[in-house]
Amino acid sequence: MSGFDIAAALVKVLLVFGVTMLTIMLMTLAERRVSAFMQYRLGPNRVGFGGLLQPLADGLKFLLKEDIIPTQANRPIYLLAPVIVMVPALMTMAVIPFGAPLQIGEHLVPLQVADLNIGVLYILALTSVGVYGLVLAGWGSGSKYPLLGGLRASAQLISYELAMGLSIIGVVMLTGGLTFGEIIAYQQETGWNIWKQPLAALIFLIAIFAETNRLPFDLTEAEQELVGGYHTEYSSLKFAMFYLSEYANMITASAFMVSLFFGGWDVPFVDELAMGGWGVALSVLAFVVKVGFFLFLYIWVRWTFPRFRYDQLMRLGWKVLLPLALVNVVLTGFWLVWRAGA
């Protein structure tokens, strides 16, 4: 590994981390503003231009709040849980390619922090680790409502991870590889996967809503039933960590969705690789726009649909999405065999 590679990797790490944190901040604002607009309100628009500095004010508020540790809490677990949620949420962005490879001198720098050969599995694994944080937070708080929230998180995880994993299998079968580089290269050659795997895309979309605990599947924090779910007993910065990681997970899930089904940084009918610097800029822009759309979709869905009941969620996960995902895998298999024979 040369000095250049290390420098490039460092720059990319800082860039991805910084942009992710910035996007989280913007998302907390966008959530409030968009929800307000949908309800004929204006939302926070006083701090900075159009309320742009509101997230900073919110962050400052979190910093200055009293940090309470309940006496009934299991201290080590209680303190560890927000970290377990936060760290994987920020780690997952590492394998997402956010632009076409950039040519600097004689070096070709892929715009991706790490091109793991099991990139897809890496994300699936880390997002599941994040759920452990929720369960531990629920259990470690020593309070009944967080415990219920944690239990729901684990039940939800099992019922959705299966369908989610199976919906990805269709894409992996088409591509024949688990790295994001291969998946995106395949989509560049033959068109986006959404056209070939629409059912898988739909199942995946529904599953990531459940995965990130967003409405209509936010049963783990259903405030009307569970006060606030797993983060009821958390305050100050520890609560902020849960809050931030929820948005970090949304960003990762959107980027995951875009990479798997919407061509990643690919712009249709344009050869970014042949266009040099402008092609790279265009590809990054395309990626940002696509991810931005899905982030907006998250907010949009949240303020449109009511929460699922617990049994409805289970039924949807086990009796609808899982069989559909299996059917999709089988159909994809038949299609591949048929195409190989033809």
Partner 1 sequence: MATVQRTYEPQFSDRFYLPAVVRGLWMTFVRIFRRKDTIPYPDRKYVPADGYRGLQRLNKDAEGRIKCVACEMCQTACPAHCITIVPSPAPWDEGEERYPVQFDIDLLRCIFCGFCELACPKEAIELTEIYDYASYTRDDLIINMEGLLKVYDVTSQGNIYKRQNEGESITIDTGKL
Interface positions with partner 1 (CB under 8 A): 34, 36-42, 45, 300-301, 303-305
Closer to partner 1 by CB, 144 or 319: give it: 319
Smallest gap from Cβ 28 to partner 1, in A, equals: 18
Closer to partner 1 by CB, 41 or 144: give it: 41
Closer to partner 1 by CB, 195 or 305: give it: 305
- ∠ CA 224-227-232, rounded to 5°: 150
Q: How far apart are CA 331 and CA 319, in angstroms?
A: 18
Q: How far apart are CA 82 and CA 67, in angstroms?
A: 13
Smallest gap from Cβ 250 to partner 1, in A, equals: 17
Closest Cα partner for 195 from 252, 287, 268, 124? 268
Closer to partner 1 by CB, 116 or 301: give it: 301
3-state secondary structure of 47: coil
Residues composing the chain:
342
Spatial contact of 184 and 264, defined as CB atoms under 8 Å apart: yes
Please give the C-alpha separations between residue 101 and each of 222, 275, 278, in angstroms, as whole numbers. 43, 11, 12
Could you check whether the bond before residue 216 is cis, i.e. omega within 30 degrees of 0? yes
Could you tell me what percentage of the chain is helix, strand and coil, using 3-state DSSP and rounding each to the nearest 5? 75, 5, 25
Cα Rg of the chain (Å, integer):
21
Smallest gap from Cβ 188 to partner 1, in A, equals: 29
The residues, any chain, with a CB within 8 Å of residue 341's CB and separated by 6 or more, are none
Q: How far apart are CA 2 and CA 107, in angstroms?
A: 11
Smallest gap from Cβ 76 to partner 1, in A, equals: 43
Closer to partner 1 by CB, 140 or 216: give it: 216
Spatial contact of 145 and 232, defined as CB atoms under 8 Å apart: yes
Smallest gap from Cβ 163 to partner 1, in A, equals: 16
Smallest gap from Cβ 236 to partner 1, in A, equals: 29
Closer to partner 1 by CB, 303 or 318: give it: 303
Closer to partner 1 by CB, 53 or 87: give it: 53
Smallest gap from Cβ 205 to partner 1, in A, equals: 11
